[in-house]
Amino acid sequence: MSDLEIRPAAHDDIPAIVALLADDPLGAQRESPDDLVPYESAFQRLAADPNQHLVVAVRDGRVVGTLQLTVIPGLSRRGAVRSIVEGVRIHSGERGSGLGTQLIEWAVAESRLQGCQLVQLTSDATRTDAHRFYERLGFTASHLGFKLQL
Amino acid sequence: MSDLEIRPAAHDDIPAIVALLADDPLGAQRESPDDLVPYESAFQRLAADPNQHLVVAVRDGRVVGTLQLTVIPGLSRRGAVRSIVEGVRIHSGERGSGLGTQLIEWAVAESRLQGCQLVQLTSDATRTDAHRFYERLGFTASHLGFKLQL
């Protein structure tokens, strides 16, 4: 496969990112690719926040992957900074290509650059393939992830 | 019991917060209450970030609980804002008093004020009492939480 670039998401990437978010068994029920207005304002807020790193993976000029890395300072663990990975999506045509590994390795490397001592993420309990994937990359499934919809 | 106040943490609360973080089976191995320097710089960083809400619960002038709420914008779920709760600690003399419930209810209410559509947290798989506690408060253990130490 041709060269891959992982770079900060630009405003023009929003439709492609939303298409990736929607092309997913869980995302299909949650996203609205035909109405980008709510995504535009969310993008502006992300772009203005130095602790937010929304990136896209681009191959041959096409967005084929995305993730969001959030840097979180805190007092616990002797003032450790941690990062949280959210919204990992890989284009259906790229699954199994190693792109997921490249994206997560980017997130881990960027977390080190940002001075983080811990990278964390949650994965829906039904995504068993994803669990094996994260464990292969060295993550430990040490926690339960709780959510409350408001 | 006398009235409880939940308020933003101030610089002078750092020793009491660190004492709470350390007074825990997992925290005892991770914290350094005798060296507050790393906590001071972490506190400054939290105080400067409008998406960070480190709070203390105070009863009779004494810090008896703490938690950190982080507000995270994002594109997924139609640009939903979510919040993450970290570092929940209750003074040993207050456990079973309902203070944990009050703190989490504060976090949920503040998340609504901040426009969040989702509150999430992870809890170490060994903290089974905490899991029942979060489920009683309406949270669903729908995810696995993965961590990678750097």
- A86 inside domain: yes
Q: Which domain holds residue B24?
A: 4-136
- A68 inside domain: yes
A42-66 average pLDDT score: 96
Contacts of A112 in chain B (CB under 8 A): 150
- A20 inside domain: yes
- A147 inside domain: no
A14-24: per-residue pLDDT in tens?
999 999 999 87
Residue of B nearest to A115 (CA): B150
Residue of B nearest to A121 (CA): B146
Closest among A73, A67, A81 to A116, alpha carbons compared = A81
pLDDT band at A76 (very low <50, low <70, confident <90, very high): very high
pLDDT at position A1 over 70: no
**A63, A148, A149: best to mutate for the B interface, most B CBs within 10 A:** A148
Look at residue B97 in the predicted model and tell me its pLDDT: 85
Contacts of B122 in chain A (CB under 8 A): 120, 122, 143-146
Which bin fits A102, alpha (ψ -120 to 50), beta or left (φ > 0)?
alpha
- A145 inside domain: no
**CATH code at B127?**
3.40.630.30
A105-114 average pLDDT score: 98
Cα angle: B79, vertex A63, B80; to 5 degrees: 5
Tell me how crowded residue B148 is: count the other CB atoms within 10 A of its CB.
Answer: 20
Q: What is the mean pLDDT of chain A?
A: 94
pTM value is 0.93
- A143 inside domain: no
The least confident of A25-39, A115-129, B6-20 is A25-39
A60-69 average pLDDT score: 96
Contacts of A75 in chain B (CB under 8 A): 14, 17-18, 21, 39, 42-43, 46, 54, 68, 87
- A144 inside domain: no
> Nearest Cβ partner of A144 from B42, B118, B125?
B125
Contacts of A30 in chain B (CB under 8 A): 76-78
Give the number of domains in chain B: 1
Q: In angstroms, rounded to a whole number, what is the distance separating the alpha carbons of residues A58 and B6?
A: 46
Q: In angstroms, rounded to a whole number, what is the distance separating the alpha carbons of residues B39 and A116?
A: 15
B96-147: per-residue pLDDT in tens?
889 999 999 999 999 999 999 999 999 999 989 999 999 999 999 999 999 9
Look at residue A2 in the predicted model and tell me its pLDDT: 67
- A101 inside domain: yes
pLDDT at position A138 over 60: yes
Is the Cβ pair A73, B46 closer than 8 Å?
yes
The percent helix, strand, coil of chain B (3-state, each to 5) is: 40, 35, 30
Angle between the B14-22 and B37-47 helix axes, to the nearest 10 degrees?
110
Task: Name which residue leads in pLDDT, A84 or A129.
Answer: A84
Residue of A nearest to B21 (CA): A76
A108-130 average pLDDT score: 95
Look at residue B50 in the predicted model and tell me its pLDDT: 95
pLDDT at position B2 over 70: no
B15-49: per-residue pLDDT in tens?
999 999 998 777 778 899 999 999 999 999 999 99
Minimum distance, in Å, between the CA of residue B142 and any CA atom of chain A: 6
Q: In angstroms, rounded to a whole number, what is the distance separating the alpha carbons of residues B72 and A51?
A: 10
H/E stretch holding A86: strand A81-90
Q: In angstroms, rounded to a whole number, what is the distance separating the alpha carbons of residues B148 and B140?
A: 23
pLDDT band at A27 (very low <50, low <70, confident <90, very high): confident
